[in-house]
């Protein structure tokens, strides 16, 4: 039995392609969500070496590992059937006033890699810019937090024993080849604490047996058991994890709001009667619009800033004029409610008189100047607003573009766009 296979009809995606489409093409994003999301695996077979190199290439990994600058927990080594301690491949470097601890020992890492250990680069969405941008776009499309690890496995080796993940996963094969054995879920759509244990019994029969080559994608809903083995080539793949906001999360959030209702704080009577009315009160906090608002707010408030070029942007503010062209940063996920702008863990409150200007900035798809803003602010007031939002990282200067057309980095990226309410 094999998962659904699709074969692309056209060439390499550009780095600016929509993130979800880049993972599942030629299958459409809507078809993927209808047929596979949280349901069944998807294998996309391509003949596109280099498709994902702009996100993290094999050369990038070599440079990172051999530079000596890797530091735990940004990386670790794993090997199926072996226990590797962090101290087996890290060292501390003396420095005043504070030593550098957990630094990668390049010689030991190379030895262990040659002996079959997999190098895992962890949390790349936090510290590797191309994957930070990619993850943010995918978050904007799916509405759930994204994390990325990379696994560099030597030939004829296995990094991890059979297991399942508690988040949905896109496996993007960057280089080499890896064979994936997939088994039926031990838990269907497991929560974070519902992990596979060998005491639950073996994984059963293989239901999907696929080999990923450079440019291929494998999607696994959370809970599907799997293991992966390399062939005669070293393998590099990205594991893009989607940490889904579930109905359990939605009910917990609604119940937390009930703490302000004194009726929920009363003790039940000895007969246990009285829950029906409280269930109705809870249901009032679970309307579709309210659930969507909480889910979006949690995502928006927990995103870390991606501020490429911010030091340069602050210098450019010294020359800000009414003719300066600016744009919204495409990596900002935000909400605008009235005149409160929320993004990256902050709520920025503005006076009511700038409501029209904020609405425009929240929906603009092209670069703009102060003259483009609607509303009652005069020119000096508009420049004050621009300065504030550049400093906060919401806006940036639009780079020059031949012919005066809109910048290819314009704020129209659908992954970053939020509907103002």
Q: How confident is the model at residue 3 (pLDDT cuts 50, 70, 90)?
A: low
Domain range 310-404, its CATH number among 3.30.1330.60, 1.10.40.30, 3.40.50.300, 3.90.930.40: 3.90.930.40
- Tens of pLDDT, residues 219-237: 999 999 989 888 889 999 9
Give the Cα-Cα-Cα angle 28, 29, 35 (nearest 5 degrees): 85
Rounded distance between C-alpha atoms, residue 380 and residue 377, angstroms? 8
Rounded distance between C-alpha atoms, residue 35 and residue 224, angstroms? 16
Residues paired with residue 75 on neighbouring β-strands, in sequence order: 121
**Model confidence at 405: pLDDT above 90:** no
Backbone angles phi, psi at 363, to 5 degrees: -120, -5
Residues of the chain with CATH 3.90.930.40: 310-404
Query: Is the sign of the CA dihedral 203, 209, 213, 216 positive or negative?
Result: negative
Give the Cα-Cα-Cα angle 346, 128, 361 (nearest 5 degrees): 40
- Tens of pLDDT, residues 263-294: 999 999 999 999 999 999 999 999 999 999 99
**Model confidence at 94: pLDDT above 70:** yes
Query: Is the sign of the CA dihedral 34, 37, 42, 48 positive or negative?
Result: positive
* Residue where the block lists tokens 């990325």: 148
**Model confidence at 110: pLDDT above 90:** yes
pLDDT at 21: 95
**Model confidence at 29: pLDDT above 80:** yes
Q: In what order do the strands lie in the sheet with 225-230?
A: 206-213, 177-183, 225-230
In angstroms, how far is the first alpha carbon of the chain from the final one?
47
Return the SS3 of 209: strand
CA 413 to chain centre: 16
**Model confidence at 84: pLDDT above 80:** yes
Rounded distance between C-alpha atoms, residue 116 and residue 193, angstroms? 30
Mean pLDDT of the chain: 89
CB count within 10 Å of CB 360 equals 15
Residue (of 294, 212, 215, 280) closest to 247 by Cα position: 294
Q: What is the CATH number of domain 4-58+116-242?
A: 2.60.120.650
pLDDT at 158: 82
pLDDT at 401: 62
- Tens of pLDDT, residues 305-360: 999 999 999 999 999 999 999 999 999 999 999 999 999 999 999 999 999 999 99
| pTM exceeds 0.95, yes or no | no
Q: Are strands 340-343 and 235-242 parallel, antiparallel or unpaired?
A: unpaired
């Amino acid at each position: 039995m094999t998962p659904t296979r699709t074969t692309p009809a056209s060439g390499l995606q550009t780095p600016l392609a929509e993130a979800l489409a880049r993972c599942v093409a030629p299958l459409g994003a809507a078809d993927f969500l209808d047929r596979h999301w949280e349901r069944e695996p998807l294998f996309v077979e391509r003949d596109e070496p280099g498709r994902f190199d702009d996100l993290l290439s094999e050369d990038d990994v070599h440079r990172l590992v051999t530079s000596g600058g890797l530091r735990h927990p940004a990386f670790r080594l794993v090997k199926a059937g072996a226990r590797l301690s962090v101290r087996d491949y890290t060292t501390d470097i003396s420095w005043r006033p504070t030593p550098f601890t957990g630094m990668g020992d390049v010689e030991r890492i190379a030895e262990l890699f040659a002996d079959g250990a997999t190098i895992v680069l962890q949390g790349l969405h936090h510290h590797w810019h191309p994957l930070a941008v990619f993850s943010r776009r995918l978050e904007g499309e799916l509405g759930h937090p994204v994390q990325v690890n990379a696994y560099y496995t030597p030939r004829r080796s296995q990094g991890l024993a059979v297991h399942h993940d508690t988040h949905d996963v896109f496996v993007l094969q960057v280089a080499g080849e890896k064979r994936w054995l997939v088994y039926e879920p031990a838990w269907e759509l497991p929560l974070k604490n519902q992990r596979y244990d060998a005491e639950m019994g073996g994984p059963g029969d293989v239901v999907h047996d696929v080999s990923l080559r450079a440019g291929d994608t494998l999607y696994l809903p959370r809970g599907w058991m799997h293991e992966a083995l390399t062939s005669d080539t070293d393998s590099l793949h990205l594991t893009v994890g989607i940490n889904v906001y579930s109905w359990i999360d939605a009910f917990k959030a609604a119940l937390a709001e009930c703490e302000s209702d004194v009726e929920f704080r009363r003790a039940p009577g000895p007969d246990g009667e009285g829950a029906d009315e409280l269930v109705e009160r809870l249901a009032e906090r679970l309307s579709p619009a309210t659930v969507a608002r909480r889910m979006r707010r949690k995502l928006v408030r927990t995103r870390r800033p991606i501020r490429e070029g911010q030091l340069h942007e602050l210098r450019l503010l010294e020359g800000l004029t009414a003719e300066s062209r600016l744009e919204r940063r495409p990596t900002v996920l935000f909400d605008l409610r009235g005149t409160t702008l929320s993004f990256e863990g902050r709520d920025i409150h503005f006076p009511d008189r700038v409501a029209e200007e904020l609405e425009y900035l929240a929906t603009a798809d092209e670069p703009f100047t102060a003259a483009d803003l609607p509303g009652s602010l005069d020119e000096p007031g508009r420049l004050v607003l621009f300065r504030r939002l550049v400093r906060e990282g919401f806006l940036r200067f639009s780079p020059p573009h031949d012919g005066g057309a809109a910048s290819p980095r314009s704020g129209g990226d659908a992954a970053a766009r939020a509907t103002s309410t």
